Structure 1
Amino acid sequence: MYGNRQSTQISLALLIAFTITVGMLVLALILIGQSFRGMETAKVSAASATAKQLAISVDDRIHAITAPPSTALAVLSHDPLALSRTYQQRLQRLGMLADILRSSDIVSAVYVGWGNGDFFLLRKIRSSGTLQFPDAPSPARYLLQSVTRSQAGIDGEWTFYDEQLNPISRLQKPDYQFDPRQRPWFIAATPSNKTELSDPYVFFTTHETGLTLSHRSAAGGPGAPTAVFGIDVTVSDLSQQLSKLRQTPGTRIAIVNDEGTLLAHSEVAKKLDAPIATALDGRGETVGDTAVTHFNAQEREWYGFSEPLKALSKENLRIAVAIPADELLADVWDALARQTVIAGGVALLLLVIGWFLGRRVGRPLEKLTDQVSQLSRFRFDTAVRSDSHIREARQLSVALDDMATTIHSFQNIASVLNRGQDLNRLLHDILEQIVQILGQKRGGIYLFDRQERRLNLAVDTHSALPRGLDDLDPGLDDNDLIHHLRHHIGGHPVFAILRNRQKKLIGVLVIEMEHGEHTHLSDDLIVFVDEIAGSAAVAIETRELIESQQALLEGIIRLVANAIDAKSPYTGGHCERVPKLAQMILDQAEAITHGPFASFSMTDEERYEFHLAAWLHDCGKITSPEYVVDKAVKLETLYNRIHEIRTRFEVLYRDAEIEYLQAVAAGEDEPAARQRRDRRRDQLMADFTFLAYANKGGEFMSDADRERVESIGRQTWTRHFSDRLGLSSDEYQRLKEVPEPDLPAAEPLLADRPEHIHPWGEHRPPVERDDPRNRWGFDMQLPDYAYNLGEIHNLTVAKGTLTDEERFKINEHIVQTICMLDALPLPDRLANVPRLAGTHHERMDGEGYPCRLKGEEMGIPERIMAVADVFEALTAVDRPYKDGKTLTESLTIMARMVDDGHIDRDVFELFLTSGVYRHYAEQHLRPEQRDQVNESLFMNRD
Structure 2
Amino acid sequence: MHMGRTFPLHTHVLALALGLVLLVGGLLAVIGQHLARDMMASVAQDLSLRINREVRGNLHLLLRPADMALRLLQEDELAEAGTLDERLRRLPAMRAVLTGSTALSSVYVGYGDGQFFFVRRLASDAERARFAAPADAAFLVQSIDRDGGVMRGRYLYFDKGLALLAESERPTYPRDFDPRHRDWFRHAPQAGQLSVTPPYLFFSDREVGVTLARRVAGKDVVVGADIRLHTLGEDLMRQRVTPGTRLALVDEQGRVMAQDDTSLMVTRSGPDDAPGLPTLGDLAHPAFAGQDKLVAAALAAPEGHLVRSFAADGENWLLSAAVLQLDESAAQLIVTAIPERELMALAHRQRDAALMVTALVLLIAVPLTWALARQIARPLRVLATEAEAIRRFNFGQVGVPRSRIREVAVLGDTMDGMRLTIRRFLELNTVVAGEPDFDSLLPRLLGETLSATRAQGGVLYLAADGHLAPAVTLDGEGRPLPETAPWAATDAEAGQPGQARAQGRSMVAARALGSVGPLMTAALAASAPRAAALTTHDLEALGLQAQATALGVSHAIAVPLLNRQDELVGAMLLLLDAPADDDRLAFIGALSGLAAVTLEARALIAAQKALFEALVRMVAGAIDAKSQHTGGHCARVPELARLLAQAACDARSGPYAGFSLDEGGWETLRIAAWLHDCGKITTPEYVVEKATKLHALYDRIHEVRMRFEVLKREAELRCLQDIIAGAEAAERRRRCDAELAVLDEEFAFVARCNQGVEAMAEADVARLHRIAGRTWTRTLDDRLGVSGEELARKLAEGEVALPCAEPVLADRAEHRVPRRPEDRFEEGNPWGFRMQAPHWQLDLGELHNLGVRYGTLTDEERYLINAHIIRTEIMLRQLPWPRHLVEVPEVAASHHEKMDGSGYPKGLDGTQMSLPARMIAVADIFEALTARDRPYKAGKTLSEALAIMARMAREGHVDPGLFALFLRSGSHLVYARRFMTEAQIDAVDIDALLAGFPAT
Matched, 1:738 2:797: yes
Q: Which residue of 1 aligns with 2:930?
A: 875
What residue identity is the alignment partner of 2:462? L
Matched, 1:690 2:744: no
Secondary structure of the structure 2 residue equivalent to 1:495: strand
2:891 to 830, 836, 852: 836
Cα distance, 1:817 vs structure 2: 0.7
Question: Matches of 1:818 and 1:509 in 2, distance apart?
Answer: 48
Q: Which residue of 2 aligns with 1:493?
A: 556
Cα distance, 1:721 vs structure 2: 2.0
Q: Which residue of 2 aligns with 1:479?
A: 525
Q: Which residue of 1 aligns with 2:462?
A: 447
Q: Which residue of 1 aligns with 2:706?
A: 647
Distance 1:790 1:781, change over 3 A: same
Q: Which residue of 2 aligns with 1:820?
A: 875
What residue identity is the alignment partner of 1:818? E
Cα distance, 1:478 vs structure 2: 4.8
Q: Which residue of 2 aligns with 1:549?
A: 608
Cα distance, 1:540 vs structure 2: 0.7
What residue identity is the alignment partner of 2:594? S
Cα distance, 1:403 vs structure 2: 4.3
Question: Matches of 1:460 and 1:667 in 2, distance apart?
Answer: 110
Matched, 1:14 2:29: no
The answer on whether the counterparts of 1:456 and 1:469 sit within 8 Å (CA) in structure 2 is yes
Secondary structure of the structure 2 residue equivalent to 1:701: coil
Distance 1:359 1:585, change over 3 A: farther
Q: Which residue of 1 aligns with 2:442?
A: 427
What residue identity is the alignment partner of 2:823? P
Question: Matches of 2:775 and 2:394 in 1, distance apart?
Answer: 98
Secondary structure of the structure 2 residue equivalent to 1:602: coil
1:414 to 401, 423, 429: 429
Question: Matches of 1:873 and 1:889 in 2, distance apart?
Answer: 12
Secondary structure of the structure 1 residue equivalent to 2:986: coil
The answer on whether the counterparts of 1:767 and 1:778 sit within 8 Å (CA) in structure 2 is yes
Matched, 1:676 2:691: no
Distance 1:568 1:18, change over 3 A: farther
Cα distance, 1:605 vs structure 2: 0.8
Secondary structure of the structure 2 residue equivalent to 1:922: helix
Q: How does 1:186-201 map to 2 (within 5 A)?
A: none
TM-superposition CA deviations, 1:278-324 (whole Å, max 9, x none): xxxxxxxxxxxxxxxxxxxxxxxxxxxxxxxxxxxxxxxxxxxxxxx
1:457 to 465, 470, 476: 470
The answer on whether the counterparts of 1:876 and 1:885 sit within 8 Å (CA) in structure 2 is yes
Cα distance, 1:758 vs structure 2: 0.6
Secondary structure of the structure 2 residue equivalent to 1:596: coil
What residue identity is the alignment partner of 1:446? Y
Secondary structure of the structure 1 residue equivalent to 2:655: helix
Q: Which residue of 1 aligns with 2:625?
A: 566
Question: Matches of 1:500 and 1:864 in 2, distance apart?
Answer: 43
2:988 to 928, 933, 940: 933
Q: Which residue of 1 aligns with 2:57?
A: none
Q: Which residue of 2 aligns with 1:467?
A: 509
Distance 1:753 1:494, change over 3 A: same
Cα distance, 1:418 vs structure 2: 1.7
Cα distance, 1:581 vs structure 2: 0.5
TM-superposition CA deviations, 1:80-100 (whole Å, max 9, x none): xxxxxxxxxxxxxxxxxxxxx
Matched, 1:729 2:742: no
What residue identity is the alignment partner of 1:416? V
Q: How does 1:917-928 map to 2 (within 5 A)?
A: 917-928=972-983
Question: Matches of 1:564 and 1:430 in 2, distance apart?
Answer: 42
What residue identity is the alignment partner of 1:552? L
Secondary structure of the structure 2 residue equivalent to 1:896: helix
Question: Matches of 1:19 and 1:619 in 2, distance apart?
Answer: 77
Cα distance, 1:940 vs structure 2: 3.1
Distance 1:423 1:690, change over 3 A: same
Residue segments in structure 1 that go unaligned for 5+ positions in a row: 1-11, 22-355
The answer on whether the counterparts of 2:631 and 2:934 sit within 8 Å (CA) in structure 1 is no
The answer on whether the counterparts of 2:644 and 2:919 sit within 8 Å (CA) in structure 1 is yes
Distance 1:410 1:601, change over 3 A: same
1:707 to 751, 754, 766: 766
Q: Which residue of 1 aligns with 2:453?
A: 438
Question: Matches of 1:823 and 1:872 in 2, distance apart?
Answer: 28
Cα distance, 1:936 vs structure 2: 2.1
Residue segments in structure 2 that go unaligned for 5+ positions in a row: 1-6, 17-369, 475-480, 483-505, 531-536, 544-553
Cα distance, 1:646 vs structure 2: 0.8
What residue identity is the alignment partner of 1:467? A
Secondary structure of the structure 1 residue equivalent to 2:903: coil
Question: Matches of 1:422 and 1:699 in 2, distance apart?
Answer: 57
Question: Matches of 1:363 and 1:18 in 2, distance apart?
Answer: 9
Question: Matches of 2:559 and 2:766 in 1, distance apart?
Answer: 87
Secondary structure of the structure 2 residue equivalent to 1:758: strand
Q: Which residue of 1 aligns with 2:231?
A: none
Question: Matches of 1:508 and 1:20 in 2, distance apart?
Answer: 56
What residue identity is the alignment partner of 1:528? F
TM-superposition CA deviations, 1:451-478 (whole Å, max 9, x none): x333322222338895323366999995
Cα distance, 1:399 vs structure 2: 4.3
The answer on whether the counterparts of 1:751 and 1:790 sit within 8 Å (CA) in structure 2 is yes
TM-superposition CA deviations, 1:664-720 (whole Å, max 9, x none): 333322332222122112211211111111111136211111111111111111122
TM-superposition CA deviations, 1:850-878 (whole Å, max 9, x none): 11111111121111111111111112233
What residue identity is the alignment partner of 2:566? K
Cα distance, 1:727 vs structure 2: 0.7
1:767 to 819, 822, 825: 825
546-555 vs 429-438, which deviates more? 429-438
Cα distance, 1:508 vs structure 2: 1.8
* TM-score, structure 2 as length reference: 0.54
Please identify the structure whose Cα radius of gyration is greater. Answer: 2
TM-superposition CA deviations, 1:141-198 (whole Å, max 9, x none): xxxxxxxxxxxxxxxxxxxxxxxxxxxxxxxxxxxxxxxxxxxxxxxxxxxxxxxxxx
Question: Matches of 2:875 and 2:952 in 1, distance apart?
Answer: 29
Q: How does 1:175-574 map to 2 (within 5 A)?
A: 386=401, 398-399=413-414, 401-403=416-418, 405-407=420-422, 409-449=424-464, 452-461=465-474, 462=481, 467-470=509-512, 478-480=524-526, 488-489=541-542, 492-513=555-576, 515-516=577-578, 519=579, 521-574=580-633
Distance 1:17 1:927, change over 3 A: farther
The answer on whether the counterparts of 1:735 and 1:754 sit within 8 Å (CA) in structure 2 is yes
What residue identity is the alignment partner of 1:418? A
Question: Matches of 2:958 and 2:724 in 1, distance apart?
Answer: 71
Cα distance, 1:749 vs structure 2: 0.8
The answer on whether the counterparts of 1:752 and 1:792 sit within 8 Å (CA) in structure 2 is yes
Q: Which residue of 1 aligns with 2:842?
A: 787
Q: Which residue of 1 aligns with 2:967?
A: 912
Question: Matches of 2:420 and 2:522 in 1, distance apart?
Answer: 35
Cα distance, 1:522 vs structure 2: 2.3
TM-superposition CA deviations, 1:384-439 (whole Å, max 9, x none): 67556787886666445434543453344223322222223222122222233433
Distance 1:566 1:755, change over 3 A: same
The answer on whether the counterparts of 2:10 and 2:373 sit within 8 Å (CA) in structure 1 is no
TM-superposition CA deviations, 1:872-912 (whole Å, max 9, x none): 11122333543322222222222222222211111111112
Question: Matches of 1:904 and 1:358 in 2, distance apart?
Answer: 82
Q: Which residue of 2 aligns with 1:892?
A: 947
Cα distance, 1:938 vs structure 2: 1.9
Question: Between the two proteins, what is the percent identity of the paired residues?
Answer: 42
Distance 1:398 1:748, change over 3 A: same
Q: Which residue of 2 aligns with 1:902?
A: 957
Equivalent residue pairs, number: 587
Cα distance, 1:525 vs structure 2: 1.7
What residue identity is the alignment partner of 1:444? V
Distance 1:497 1:911, change over 3 A: same
